[in-house]
């Protein structure tokens, strides 16, 4: 969608936020649809913490988490985007923020979360970058401190979106999927491997995760209105 599709003038860099820069484009509309689907995916319990993951790297998790976060913020919701990909973090690039302190610092150094959360130039949107890459990401994410942190954030914000590493590579996302309200599984259409997707889904089910939906991301599809869509929901 970025640059390749001449119909859209969006070509100035892969990490730019299309929902911020081109809110009226059909792609931005797709991100808003994902937001709406998350909002209404659960009738009984309010969804406050949502994790984005995929089977393999490069599926578009970070792109989707960041754009859906902007879509939430634009709808007036107090939104927090957390970069819990403590292996290949990108949120600080997307929002051109520093990353000396972030999630890893809060967990390891007992630093107050409020000192680490950063405002962005988008109203209602705050971010917590990854912080320096630790040697033991899974251990940090499985800690009591992480789950307490998420509980606190769920009270402080209307919605908390969490970017994570791929499921089949490391246990991080699986561990986190147990303590969030819902999970969005992102899959890249080109590299779509049914087996991998099923393995990823099985890992989430094993963790008793609440899979809200699977989003297909097609980087090269010409008709941009179809670039993101829900593949299926869990219910």
Ligand X SMILES: Nc1ncnc2c1ncn2[C@@H]1O[C@H](COP(=O)(O)OP(=O)(O)O)[C@@H](O)[C@H]1O
Supply the minimum distance, in Å, between the C-beta of residue 87 and ligand X: 10
Residue 165 touches which of Mg ion, ligand X, none (Cβ within 5-8 Å per kind):
none
Which one among 62, 79, 130, 177 touches Mg ion, defined by CB under 5 A? 62
Q: How many CA atoms lie within 13 A of 103 on its CB side?
A: 32
Q: Is residue 187 a contact point for ligand X (CB under 6 A)?
A: no
| Closest to 188 (Cα-Cα) out of 217, 167, 214 | 217
Name residues contacting ligand X, limited to 50-69 (CB under 6 A): 54, 57-63
Supply the minimum distance, in Å, between the C-beta of residue 99 and ligand X: 15
Starting at the edge strand found earlier in the chain, the sheet holding 49-54 runs 118-119, 125-128, 79-83, 159-163, 49-54, 182-188, 211-217, 228-232
Q: Is residue 187 a contact point for Mg ion (CB under 5 A)?
A: no
Conformation bin of residue 228: beta by default, left when phi > 0, alpha when psi is -120 to 50:
beta
| Closest to 156 (Cα-Cα) out of 185, 178, 128 | 128
Q: Which is nearer to ligand X, 113 or 167 (CB)?
A: 167
| Interface contacts to ligand X, rule CB under 6 A | 1-2, 14, 54, 57-63, 90, 217, 219, 227
| Interface contacts to Mg ion, rule CB under 5 A | 61-62, 90
């Amino acid at each position: 969608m970025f640059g390749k599709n001449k119909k859209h003038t969006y070509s100035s860099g892969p990490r730019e936020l299309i929902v911020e820069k081109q809110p009226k484009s059909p792609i931005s509309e797709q991100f808003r649809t994902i937001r709406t689907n998350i909002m209404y995916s659960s009738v009984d319990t309010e969804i406050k913490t949502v994790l984005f993951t995929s089977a393999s790297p490069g599926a578009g998790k970070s792109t989707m988490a960041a754009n859906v976060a902007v879509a939430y913020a634009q709808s007036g919701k107090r939104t927090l985007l957390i970069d819990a990909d403590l292996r290949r973090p990108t949120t600080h690039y997307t929002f051109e923020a520093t990353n000396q302190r972030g999630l890893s610092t809060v967990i390891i150094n007992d630093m107050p979360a409020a000192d680490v959360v950063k405002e962005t130039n988008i109203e209602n949107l705050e971010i917590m970058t990854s912080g320096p890459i630790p040697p033991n990401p899974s251990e940090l994410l499985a800690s009591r401190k992480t789950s307490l942190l998420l509980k606190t954030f769920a009270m402080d914000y209307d919605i908390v979106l969490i970017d994570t590493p791929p499921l089949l590579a490391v246990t991080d996302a699986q561990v986190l999927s147990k303590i969030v309200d819902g999970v969005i599984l992102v899959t890249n259409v080109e590299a779509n491997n049914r087996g991998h997707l099923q393995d990823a889904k099985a890992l989430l089910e094993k963790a008793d995760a609440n899979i809200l939906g699977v989003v297909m991301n097609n980087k090269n599809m010409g008709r941009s209105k179809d670039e993101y869509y829900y593949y299926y929901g869990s219910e």
